[in-house]
Protein backbone atom coordinates (compact mmCIF):
# COMPACT_ATOMS: atom_id res chain seq x y z
CA UNK A 1 0.00 0.00 0.00
CA UNK A 2 1.43 3.38 -0.95
CA UNK A 3 1.70 6.19 1.60
CA UNK A 4 -1.08 7.93 -0.30
CA UNK A 5 -3.36 4.91 -0.03
CA UNK A 6 -2.56 4.47 3.65
CA UNK A 7 -3.41 8.07 4.45
CA UNK A 8 -6.58 7.80 2.36
CA UNK A 9 -7.70 4.73 4.25
CA UNK A 10 -6.86 6.18 7.67
CA UNK A 11 -8.68 9.37 6.71
CA UNK A 12 -11.69 7.28 5.88
CA UNK A 13 -11.48 5.26 9.07
CA UNK A 14 -11.00 8.40 11.11
CA UNK A 15 -14.17 9.93 9.74
CA UNK A 16 -16.15 6.73 10.32
CA UNK A 17 -17.06 5.36 13.72
CA UNK A 18 -19.38 2.69 15.10
CA UNK A 19 -23.16 3.13 14.79
CA UNK A 20 -22.93 6.05 12.36
CA UNK A 21 -25.48 4.46 10.01
CA UNK A 22 -28.79 3.36 11.47
CA UNK A 23 -31.29 1.00 9.85
CA UNK A 24 -34.58 -0.39 11.13
CA UNK A 25 -36.86 -2.84 9.37
CA UNK A 26 -38.13 -6.37 8.90
CA UNK A 27 -35.42 -8.99 9.41
CA UNK A 28 -36.37 -11.98 7.26
CA UNK A 29 -34.71 -15.21 6.28
CA UNK A 30 -34.82 -15.44 2.48
CA UNK A 31 -35.67 -18.84 1.07
CA UNK A 32 -34.86 -18.73 -2.62
CA UNK A 33 -35.49 -21.35 -5.27
CA UNK A 34 -35.84 -21.50 -9.01
CA UNK A 35 -39.46 -22.31 -9.87
CA UNK A 36 -41.51 -22.61 -13.07
CA UNK A 37 -44.51 -20.74 -14.41
CA UNK A 38 -46.87 -23.44 -13.11
CA UNK A 39 -45.64 -22.78 -9.58
CA UNK A 40 -46.28 -19.02 -9.98
CA UNK A 41 -49.74 -19.68 -11.45
CA UNK A 42 -50.65 -22.13 -8.70
CA UNK A 43 -50.16 -19.42 -6.08
CA UNK A 44 -51.37 -16.52 -8.23
CA UNK A 45 -47.97 -14.79 -8.36
CA UNK A 46 -46.67 -12.30 -10.90
CA UNK A 47 -43.13 -13.07 -12.17
CA UNK A 48 -41.73 -9.80 -10.80
CA UNK A 49 -43.43 -8.54 -7.68
CA UNK A 50 -43.30 -8.33 -3.94
CA UNK A 51 -46.32 -9.07 -1.76
CA UNK A 52 -47.20 -9.98 1.80
CA UNK A 53 -48.21 -13.61 2.32
CA UNK A 54 -51.91 -14.40 2.79
CA UNK A 55 -53.52 -17.62 3.96
CA UNK A 56 -53.49 -18.99 0.42
CA UNK A 57 -49.66 -18.81 0.42
CA UNK A 58 -49.17 -21.00 3.53
CA UNK A 59 -48.58 -24.07 1.34
CA UNK A 60 -46.10 -22.13 -0.81
CA UNK A 61 -43.57 -22.01 2.04
CA UNK A 62 -43.95 -25.75 2.66
CA UNK A 63 -43.58 -26.51 -1.04
CA UNK A 64 -40.65 -24.22 -1.85
CA UNK A 65 -38.38 -25.78 0.77
CA UNK A 66 -38.97 -29.21 -0.77
CA UNK A 67 -37.72 -28.06 -4.17
CA UNK A 68 -34.22 -28.85 -5.30
CA UNK A 69 -31.49 -26.36 -4.58
CA UNK A 70 -33.09 -24.14 -1.98
CA UNK A 71 -30.83 -21.39 -0.65
CA UNK A 72 -31.19 -19.65 2.70
CA UNK A 73 -29.89 -16.10 3.11
CA UNK A 74 -30.33 -13.44 5.76
CA UNK A 75 -32.65 -10.91 4.21
CA UNK A 76 -35.22 -8.22 4.68
CA UNK A 77 -34.82 -5.08 2.61
CA UNK A 78 -33.31 -2.68 5.18
CA UNK A 79 -31.10 -5.34 6.73
CA UNK A 80 -29.75 -6.16 3.23
CA UNK A 81 -28.95 -2.51 2.58
CA UNK A 82 -27.11 -1.84 5.85
CA UNK A 83 -25.20 -5.08 5.43
CA UNK A 84 -24.05 -4.04 1.95
CA UNK A 85 -23.14 -0.58 3.23
CA UNK A 86 -20.99 -2.23 5.90
CA UNK A 87 -19.42 -4.53 3.28
CA UNK A 88 -18.53 -1.54 1.08
CA UNK A 89 -17.03 0.29 4.08
CA UNK A 90 -15.19 -2.82 5.38
CA UNK A 91 -13.52 -1.08 8.33
CA UNK A 92 -14.25 -0.06 11.01
CA UNK A 93 -16.74 -2.85 11.80
CA UNK A 94 -20.20 -1.99 13.15
CA UNK A 95 -20.54 1.37 11.38
CA UNK A 96 -24.02 0.03 10.61
CA UNK A 97 -26.63 -0.59 13.32
CA UNK A 98 -29.83 -2.56 12.69
CA UNK A 99 -33.07 -2.88 14.71
CA UNK A 100 -35.89 -5.33 13.98
CA UNK A 101 -37.89 -8.15 15.54
CA UNK A 102 -37.17 -11.90 15.38
CA UNK A 103 -38.43 -15.06 17.05
CA UNK A 104 -36.61 -17.09 19.69
CA UNK A 105 -35.97 -19.92 17.24
CA UNK A 106 -33.53 -21.58 14.83
CA UNK A 107 -34.12 -19.09 11.98
CA UNK A 108 -33.60 -16.25 14.48
CA UNK A 109 -30.26 -17.75 15.47
CA UNK A 110 -29.24 -17.90 11.79
CA UNK A 111 -30.10 -14.20 11.33
CA UNK A 112 -28.03 -13.25 14.39
CA UNK A 113 -25.08 -15.25 13.14
CA UNK A 114 -25.32 -13.76 9.64
CA UNK A 115 -25.49 -10.19 10.99
CA UNK A 116 -22.42 -10.89 13.11
CA UNK A 117 -20.53 -12.31 10.13
CA UNK A 118 -21.40 -9.17 8.18
CA UNK A 119 -20.05 -6.99 11.04
CA UNK A 120 -23.41 -5.24 11.46
CA UNK A 121 -24.33 -4.18 15.00
CA UNK A 122 -27.75 -5.84 15.09
CA UNK A 123 -29.95 -5.37 18.14
CA UNK A 124 -33.02 -7.53 17.66
CA UNK A 125 -36.17 -7.36 19.71
CA UNK A 126 -36.75 -11.05 20.47
CA UNK A 127 -40.17 -12.44 21.31
CA UNK A 128 -41.62 -15.95 21.40
CA UNK A 129 -45.19 -15.32 20.22
CA UNK A 130 -44.29 -15.48 16.52
CA UNK A 131 -41.54 -17.31 14.60
CA UNK A 132 -38.81 -15.43 12.72
CA UNK A 133 -40.13 -14.00 9.46
CA UNK A 134 -39.34 -15.57 6.09
CA UNK A 135 -39.44 -14.41 2.50
CA UNK A 136 -39.89 -16.83 -0.38
CA UNK A 137 -37.99 -15.67 -3.46
CA UNK A 138 -39.51 -17.51 -6.41
CA UNK A 139 -37.06 -17.16 -9.27
CA UNK A 140 -37.92 -17.62 -12.95
CA UNK A 141 -35.23 -16.53 -15.43
CA UNK A 142 -34.11 -13.07 -14.38
CA UNK A 143 -37.40 -12.33 -12.62
CA UNK A 144 -38.10 -12.79 -8.96
CA UNK A 145 -41.42 -12.87 -7.14
CA UNK A 146 -41.13 -12.23 -3.41
CA UNK A 147 -43.68 -13.43 -0.88
CA UNK A 148 -42.97 -12.21 2.64
CA UNK A 149 -44.36 -13.91 5.70
CA UNK A 150 -43.50 -11.23 8.26
CA UNK A 151 -44.46 -13.23 11.36
CA UNK A 152 -42.08 -11.98 14.10
CA UNK A 153 -40.96 -8.99 12.01
CA UNK A 154 -44.52 -7.70 12.39
CA UNK A 155 -44.20 -7.71 16.20
CA UNK A 156 -41.69 -4.88 16.57
CA UNK A 157 -42.78 -2.63 19.45
CA UNK A 158 -41.53 0.92 19.89
CA UNK A 159 -42.05 0.97 23.67
CA UNK A 160 -40.44 -2.47 24.15
CA UNK A 161 -37.31 -1.77 22.10
CA UNK A 162 -36.76 1.60 20.41
CA UNK A 163 -37.70 3.59 23.53
CA UNK A 164 -35.26 1.75 25.81
CA UNK A 165 -32.46 4.13 26.79
CA UNK A 166 -29.66 1.81 25.69
CA UNK A 167 -31.24 1.42 22.24
CA UNK A 168 -32.16 5.08 21.81
CA UNK A 169 -28.54 5.99 22.60
CA UNK A 170 -27.52 3.97 19.52
CA UNK A 171 -30.07 5.88 17.44
CA UNK A 172 -28.63 9.17 18.66
CA UNK A 173 -25.09 8.11 17.67
CA UNK A 174 -26.05 7.87 14.00
CA UNK A 175 -25.84 10.63 11.42
CA UNK A 176 -27.54 8.80 8.53
CA UNK A 177 -30.82 6.88 8.93
CA UNK A 178 -32.42 4.45 6.51
CA UNK A 179 -35.77 2.68 6.77
CA UNK A 180 -37.45 0.87 3.88
CA UNK A 181 -41.13 1.61 3.22
CA UNK A 182 -41.92 -2.00 4.16
CA UNK A 183 -41.62 -1.06 7.84
CA UNK A 184 -44.64 1.26 7.48
CA UNK A 185 -46.81 -1.85 7.71
CA UNK A 186 -45.24 -2.72 11.08
CA UNK A 187 -44.41 0.32 13.23
CA UNK A 188 -45.06 3.74 11.69
CA UNK A 189 -44.72 5.33 15.16
CA UNK A 190 -41.13 4.02 15.40
CA UNK A 191 -40.34 5.50 11.98
CA UNK A 192 -41.77 8.89 12.96
CA UNK A 193 -39.74 8.96 16.17
CA UNK A 194 -36.47 8.29 14.30
CA UNK A 195 -37.38 10.62 11.41
CA UNK A 196 -38.20 13.50 13.79
CA UNK A 197 -34.92 13.00 15.63
CA UNK A 198 -33.02 13.21 12.33
CA UNK A 199 -34.91 16.30 11.21
CA UNK A 200 -34.57 18.12 14.55
CA UNK A 201 -30.82 17.49 14.58
CA UNK A 202 -30.19 18.22 10.89
CA UNK A 203 -29.16 14.63 10.21
CA UNK A 204 -30.05 12.68 7.06
CA UNK A 205 -33.17 10.51 6.98
CA UNK A 206 -33.63 8.19 3.99
CA UNK A 207 -36.58 6.10 2.96
CA UNK A 208 -37.61 3.76 0.16
CA UNK A 209 -40.95 3.39 -1.62
CA UNK A 210 -40.12 -0.35 -1.47
CA UNK A 211 -43.10 -1.81 -3.38
CA UNK A 212 -46.21 -0.64 -5.22
CA UNK A 213 -48.49 -1.95 -2.45
CA UNK A 214 -46.94 0.46 0.07
CA UNK A 215 -48.09 3.55 -1.87
CA UNK A 216 -51.44 1.92 -2.65
CA UNK A 217 -52.44 0.62 0.78
CA UNK A 218 -50.21 2.48 3.24
CA UNK A 219 -50.41 5.95 1.71
CA UNK A 220 -51.46 7.62 4.98
CA UNK A 221 -48.47 6.54 7.12
CA UNK A 222 -46.16 7.04 4.10
CA UNK A 223 -47.29 10.65 3.65
CA UNK A 224 -46.98 11.32 7.40
CA UNK A 225 -43.28 10.42 7.20
CA UNK A 226 -42.64 12.13 3.84
CA UNK A 227 -42.03 15.64 5.29
CA UNK A 228 -39.04 14.21 7.18
CA UNK A 229 -37.56 12.35 4.20
CA UNK A 230 -34.28 13.88 2.99
CA UNK A 231 -33.51 11.15 0.44
CA UNK A 232 -36.20 9.01 -1.16
CA UNK A 233 -35.37 5.87 -3.14
CA UNK A 234 -37.55 3.75 -5.41
CA UNK A 235 -37.63 1.94 -8.72
CA UNK A 236 -39.56 2.90 -11.85
CA UNK A 237 -42.64 0.77 -11.02
CA UNK A 238 -42.86 2.08 -7.46
CA UNK A 239 -42.39 5.66 -8.70
CA UNK A 240 -45.25 5.24 -11.21
CA UNK A 241 -47.59 3.82 -8.56
CA UNK A 242 -46.67 6.57 -6.09
CA UNK A 243 -47.36 9.20 -8.79
CA UNK A 244 -50.75 7.75 -9.64
CA UNK A 245 -51.77 7.47 -5.97
CA UNK A 246 -50.83 11.13 -5.46
CA UNK A 247 -52.59 12.17 -8.66
CA UNK A 248 -49.46 13.53 -10.42
CA UNK A 249 -51.03 12.55 -13.77
CA UNK A 250 -47.69 11.87 -15.46
CA UNK A 251 -45.71 8.73 -16.15
CA UNK A 252 -42.54 10.65 -16.99
CA UNK A 253 -40.05 9.45 -14.39
CA UNK A 254 -38.02 12.67 -14.34
CA UNK A 255 -41.20 14.69 -13.79
CA UNK A 256 -42.30 12.32 -11.00
CA UNK A 257 -38.89 12.79 -9.32
CA UNK A 258 -39.21 16.57 -9.55
CA UNK A 259 -42.78 16.60 -8.18
CA UNK A 260 -41.76 14.28 -5.34
CA UNK A 261 -38.83 16.54 -4.47
CA UNK A 262 -41.27 19.46 -4.14
CA UNK A 263 -43.59 17.74 -1.64
CA UNK A 264 -43.75 19.52 1.77
CA UNK A 265 -40.59 19.23 3.88
CA UNK A 266 -39.97 19.79 7.62
CA UNK A 267 -36.26 20.65 7.63
CA UNK A 268 -35.80 23.40 5.01
CA UNK A 269 -31.99 23.32 5.44
CA UNK A 270 -31.83 20.07 3.48
CA UNK A 271 -33.35 19.94 0.05
CA UNK A 272 -34.98 16.58 -0.62
CA UNK A 273 -33.12 14.30 -3.02
CA UNK A 274 -35.13 11.76 -5.03
CA UNK A 275 -33.38 8.77 -6.61
CA UNK A 276 -35.23 6.35 -8.89
CA UNK A 277 -33.50 3.30 -10.33
CA UNK A 278 -34.76 1.68 -13.54
CA UNK A 279 -33.05 -1.70 -13.79
CA UNK A 280 -30.66 -1.58 -16.74
CA UNK A 281 -31.82 1.91 -17.72
CA UNK A 282 -30.38 5.14 -16.32
CA UNK A 283 -30.88 6.02 -12.68
CA UNK A 284 -32.81 9.27 -12.30
CA UNK A 285 -31.92 11.72 -9.53
CA UNK A 286 -32.81 15.27 -8.56
CA UNK A 287 -29.68 17.40 -8.36
CA UNK A 288 -30.60 20.83 -7.05
CA UNK A 289 -33.06 22.37 -9.50
CA UNK A 290 -32.65 19.79 -12.21
CA UNK A 291 -33.14 16.09 -12.80
CA UNK A 292 -30.07 14.17 -13.97
CA UNK A 293 -29.69 10.72 -15.55
CA UNK A 294 -26.86 8.45 -14.40
CA UNK A 295 -26.11 5.44 -16.62
CA UNK A 296 -25.64 2.11 -14.84
CA UNK A 297 -22.62 -0.13 -15.42
CA UNK A 298 -22.85 -2.28 -18.55
CA UNK A 299 -23.48 -5.94 -17.94
CA UNK A 300 -23.93 -8.90 -20.25
CA UNK A 301 -27.47 -10.27 -19.75
CA UNK A 302 -25.92 -13.76 -19.43
CA UNK A 303 -23.99 -12.63 -16.35
CA UNK A 304 -27.17 -11.78 -14.48
CA UNK A 305 -27.86 -14.57 -12.02
CA UNK A 306 -30.53 -13.03 -9.78
CA UNK A 307 -31.92 -9.50 -9.68
CA UNK A 308 -33.32 -10.08 -6.19
CA UNK A 309 -31.56 -7.62 -3.89
CA UNK A 310 -30.38 -5.29 -6.67
CA UNK A 311 -32.41 -2.40 -5.29
CA UNK A 312 -31.31 -3.08 -1.72
CA UNK A 313 -27.70 -3.30 -2.90
CA UNK A 314 -27.95 0.01 -4.74
CA UNK A 315 -29.17 1.68 -1.55
CA UNK A 316 -26.42 -0.03 0.49
CA UNK A 317 -23.69 1.20 -1.84
CA UNK A 318 -25.24 4.68 -1.86
CA UNK A 319 -25.39 4.80 1.96
CA UNK A 320 -21.75 3.68 2.29
CA UNK A 321 -20.66 6.78 0.35
CA UNK A 322 -23.26 9.05 1.98
CA UNK A 323 -22.09 8.25 5.50
CA UNK A 324 -18.58 9.28 4.36
CA UNK A 325 -20.08 12.60 3.18
CA UNK A 326 -19.40 12.04 -0.52
CA UNK A 327 -21.23 14.02 -3.21
CA UNK A 328 -24.48 12.66 -4.69
CA UNK A 329 -22.78 11.58 -7.93
CA UNK A 330 -20.30 9.50 -5.94
CA UNK A 331 -23.10 7.96 -3.83
CA UNK A 332 -24.89 6.89 -7.02
CA UNK A 333 -21.68 5.48 -8.48
CA UNK A 334 -21.15 3.40 -5.31
CA UNK A 335 -24.78 2.25 -5.52
CA UNK A 336 -24.38 1.17 -9.12
CA UNK A 337 -21.22 -0.74 -8.26
CA UNK A 338 -22.87 -2.64 -5.38
CA UNK A 339 -25.92 -3.56 -7.48
CA UNK A 340 -23.62 -4.67 -10.30
CA UNK A 341 -21.90 -7.12 -7.92
CA UNK A 342 -25.09 -8.47 -6.35
CA UNK A 343 -26.96 -9.31 -9.57
CA UNK A 344 -24.17 -11.71 -10.57
CA UNK A 345 -24.85 -13.84 -7.46
CA UNK A 346 -27.77 -15.71 -5.91
CA UNK A 347 -29.58 -13.82 -3.14
CA UNK A 348 -28.27 -10.63 -1.63
CA UNK A 349 -24.75 -12.02 -1.15
CA UNK A 350 -21.32 -10.61 -1.88
CA UNK A 351 -17.66 -11.62 -2.22
CA UNK A 352 -15.29 -11.11 0.70
CA UNK A 353 -14.19 -7.62 -0.35
CA UNK A 354 -15.40 -5.00 -2.80
CA UNK A 355 -13.12 -3.95 -5.65
CA UNK A 356 -14.28 -0.38 -5.57
CA UNK A 357 -12.26 2.81 -5.65
Confidence tier at 11 by pLDDT (50, 70, 90): very low
| Rounded average pLDDT over 146-150 | 94
| Rounded average pLDDT over 53-74 | 86
Is the pTM value of this prediction over 0.75?
yes
Lowest mean per-residue pLDDT among 115-124, 140-149, 267-276, 285-294:
140-149
Q: Quick one: pLDDT at residue 7?
A: 47
306 catalytic? Reply is no
Confidence tier at 3 by pLDDT (50, 70, 90): low
More confident residue, 226 or 64: 226
Lowest mean per-residue pLDDT among 133-147, 157-171, 270-284, 334-348:
334-348
| 30 CB-near residues (< 8 Å, 6+ apart) | 71, 72, 73, 74, 75, 134, 135, 137, 308, 347, 348
30, 121, 230, 312: which one is catalytic?
Answer: 312
Task: List the CATH code of the domain at 21-27+75-132+150-343.
Answer: 3.40.1190.20
Lowest mean per-residue pLDDT among 134-148, 267-281, 296-310:
296-310
Q: Quick one: pLDDT at residue 347?
A: 65
Q: Quick one: pLDDT at residue 183?
A: 98
Q: Quick one: pLDDT at residue 306?
A: 66
Q: Quick one: pLDDT at residue 143?
A: 83
For residue range 157-168, list pLDDT tens digits in order: 999 999 999 999
| Rounded average pLDDT over 37-56 | 92
For residue range 251-294, list pLDDT tens digits in order: 999 999 999 999 999 999 999 999 999 988 999 999 888 999 99
Would you kindly state where each structural domain of the chain is located, as residue ranges? 21-27+75-132+150-343
For residue range 172-197, list pLDDT tens digits in order: 999 999 999 999 999 999 999 999 99
| Rounded average pLDDT over 86-108 | 96
| 21 CB-near residues (< 8 Å, 6+ apart) | 82, 85, 86, 95, 96, 97, 174, 175, 176, 177, 178, 319, 323
Q: Quick one: pLDDT at residue 300?
A: 75
Q: What percent of the chain has pLDDT over 70?
A: 93
Chain mean pLDDT for the chain:
91
Q: Quick one: pLDDT at residue 307?
A: 66
Amino acid sequence: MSAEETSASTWRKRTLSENMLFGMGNPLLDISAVVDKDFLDKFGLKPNDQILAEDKHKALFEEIVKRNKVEYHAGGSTQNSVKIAQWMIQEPHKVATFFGCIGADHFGKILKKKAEEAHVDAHYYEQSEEPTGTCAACITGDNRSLVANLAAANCYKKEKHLDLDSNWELVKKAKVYYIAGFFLTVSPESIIKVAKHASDNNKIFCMNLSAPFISQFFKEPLMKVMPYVDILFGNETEAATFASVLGFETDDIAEIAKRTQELPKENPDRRRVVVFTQGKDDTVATVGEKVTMFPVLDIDQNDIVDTNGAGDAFVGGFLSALVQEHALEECIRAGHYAAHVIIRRVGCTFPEKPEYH
